[in-house]
Amino acid sequence: MPFIGQQPPAVALTASDITDGIISTAKIADDAVTKPKLDDAIDAINYKNILINGDMQIAQRATSTASVTGNGYHTIDRMFLGCSSAGTWTQSQDTDVPTGQGFGKSLKMDNTTADASLGAGDNCILQQRVEGQMLQHLKKGTSSAESLMLSFWVKAVKTGTNIVELYDNANTRQISKSYTVDSTNTWEKKEITFTGDTSGTLANDNTSAMTVLFWLAAGSNFTSGTLSTTWTSATSANRGVGQVNHADSTSNNFWITGIQLEVGDTVSDFEFLPYDINLSRCQRYYHQIYSQSGTQAFSSTLDLANCQDYDGSQLFCMKDLPTTMRSIPSIVQTTGTDYLLALRNGAQDGFDGFNGTGTAGYNNIAIFTSGAENYSGSQAASVRVRCNASYKLAANAEL
């Protein structure tokens, strides 16, 4: 009998003993399971997807936004749309998904105003930006640079060639690969290999180091050269060669879900994370503090802590955030005349919105009003803030 605290003997664990993340107990050699090997096995099946919210589950801002013509985060968290004079779109979180694959949501692009004749510089691109400190394991810029596999499900009305690209923001390097939508209005899974890049190291910090881009439309400035299918210094003309124009008809819809970027040269099943973990990862970049649907004015109390009347003309509030954000956030708000109501000592004042941020950290924000926001107080010790149903407030630290 071993003594209390005695370490168990090392036991062998081979690749054949692990199937879909499940360790078989049928046969394990006594001398082969070691802690480093077990740690490697666990790392291989947890958080393998470099991208966040690839199953399109989280949409804090909105589930549908119409009349989209320009750049911005419109619906699905972490999915930025870069669009320049390439039609008008409605972007939405949709329930049209591949059958039997476990997905519940997709990102849908619905063209509502066509642009059948793109200008030279016109483009429309879905993209996700990734911090450099999230990419150090790629060993980019070294002789040991790792290959990457990108997999995703796509459905489109328009068939033909499409381009997906990796762009090294720090070193202005890129690689583009093509895939084909073979059948109209049919979910298809695509798998694309990107070789490792031995040039251009990525900074180990919280800035945008690499972007994954899904082209929807590309003018001649991006299509007049030869597609750069190996890593090279970026040349605009070589980035989107062959891209079909999804903006050329209002009949065109484009859906995507199940986006996964992982190290290696083989594709694994999509890594589904629990909803709360997925949400927390998204909130590192954007946190919707307050958003309410409805028409009743002042129907809810804004969840702000330590609201203080600063000097009779300013209101100062602190807000703790649910997770550490990428950087000190700014505030994003929807304002209007007397959208907010400050209540203190039996009195109340309507004001339009908070006009800025004060000293803040990665885990909280400080927001304040000024006389221009119509707030007038009376040096009360504490203040409660109520909201018009149209008011929205968010903390933003997006790349």
Instruction: Write out pLDDT tens, residues 230-277.
Output: 999 999 999 999 999 999 999 999 999 999 999 999 999 999 999 999
Q: What is the CATH number of the domain that holds 232?
A: 2.60.120.260
- CB proximity list for 336: less than 8 A, separation 6 or greater: 352, 353, 388, 390, 391
Q: If you average pLDDT over each of 7-11, 254-258, 301-305, 391-395, which comes out highest?
A: 254-258
pLDDT above 50 for 27: yes
Token pair in block for residue 330: 């700014």
Question: Residues 330, 331, 332, 333: what is their CA dihedral angle, to the nearest 10 degrees?
Answer: -160
Number of Cβ within 10 Å of residue 123's Cβ equals 25
What pTM value is reported for the model? 0.87
The answer as to whether 51 is a domain residue is no
Mean pLDDT within 102-131? 98
Same domain, 277 and 294: no
The answer as to whether 54 is a domain residue is no
Q: What is the pLDDT of residue 170?
A: 93
| CA–CA gap between residue 57 and residue 187 (Å, rounded) | 18
Same domain, 264 and 230: yes
Position 298 confidence tier, pLDDT thresholds 50, 70, 90: low
Question: Which range of residues forms the domain containing residue 192?
Answer: 64-283
Same domain, 265 and 376: no
Torsion sign (Cα): 139, 142, 144, 149: positive
Q: Which of helix, strand or coil describes residue 305?
A: strand
Of 254, 283, 312, the position where a domain reaches its end is 283
Number of Cβ within 10 Å of residue 359's Cβ equals 9
Asked if residue 138 lies in contact with residue 308, where contact means CB atoms within 8 angstroms, the answer is: no
Q: If you average pLDDT over each of 255-269, 313-327, 332-346, 355-369, which comes out highest?
A: 255-269
User: Which helix (H) or strand (E) element contains residue 186?
Assistant: none
Is pLDDT larger for residue 360 or for residue 21?
A: 360
Q: Which of helix, strand or coil describes residue 326?
A: coil
User: Which helix (H) or strand (E) element contains residue 191?
Assistant: strand 188-194
Closest alpha carbon to 13 in 2, 25, 29: 29
The answer as to whether 57 is a domain residue is no
How high does pLDDT run on average in the chain? Answer: 87
Same domain, 278 and 291: no
Same domain, 160 and 119: yes
In percent, the amount of the chain with pLDDT more than 90 equals 65
Is pLDDT larger for residue 272 or for residue 315?
A: 272
Position 23 confidence tier, pLDDT thresholds 50, 70, 90: very low
The answer as to whether 339 is a domain residue is yes
The answer as to whether 313 is a domain residue is yes
Same domain, 271 and 325: no
Closest alpha carbon to 373 in 348, 331, 324, 340: 340
pLDDT above 70 for 32: no
Number of helices and strands in the chain (H, E): 2, 26
> Which residue blocks in 184-310 are alpha helix, DSSP H?
275-283
Q: What is the pLDDT of residue 242?
A: 98
Torsion sign (Cα): 280, 286, 290, 294: negative
Q: What is the pLDDT of residue 358?
A: 65
Asked if residue 363 lies in contact with residue 320, where contact means CB atoms within 8 angstroms, the answer is: yes
Of 226, 250, 283, the position where a domain reaches its end is 283
Same domain, 132 and 262: yes
Q: Express each pLDDT in 375-389 by its tens digit.
A: 665 555 577 888 887
Same domain, 93 and 219: yes
The answer as to whether 81 is a domain residue is yes
Query: How many domains is the chain partitioned into structurally?
Result: 3
| CA–CA gap between residue 217 and residue 168 (Å, rounded) | 21
The answer as to whether 82 is a domain residue is yes
| CA–CA gap between residue 234 and residue 222 (Å, rounded) | 11
Q: Which of left, alpha, beta for 289 (phi over 0: left; psi -120 to 50: alpha)?
A: alpha
Q: Which of helix, strand or coil describes residue 300?
A: strand
**Polymer length of the chain:** 399
Q: Which of left, alpha, beta for 344 (phi over 0: left; psi -120 to 50: alpha)?
A: beta
* Residues pairing with 309 in the sheet: 315
Is pLDDT larger for residue 25 or for residue 198?
A: 198
The answer as to whether 53 is a domain residue is no
Q: What is the pLDDT of residue 391?
A: 86
Number of Cβ within 10 Å of residue 361's Cβ equals 13
Same domain, 147 and 204: yes
pLDDT above 80 for 292: no
Position 296 confidence tier, pLDDT thresholds 50, 70, 90: very low
Q: What is the pLDDT of residue 8?
A: 44
Q: In this predicted structure, which of 16-30, 114-128, 190-204, 291-305 has the lowest mean pLDDT?
A: 16-30
pLDDT above 60 for 4: no
In percent, the amount of the chain with pLDDT more than 70 equals 81
Same domain, 112 and 172: yes
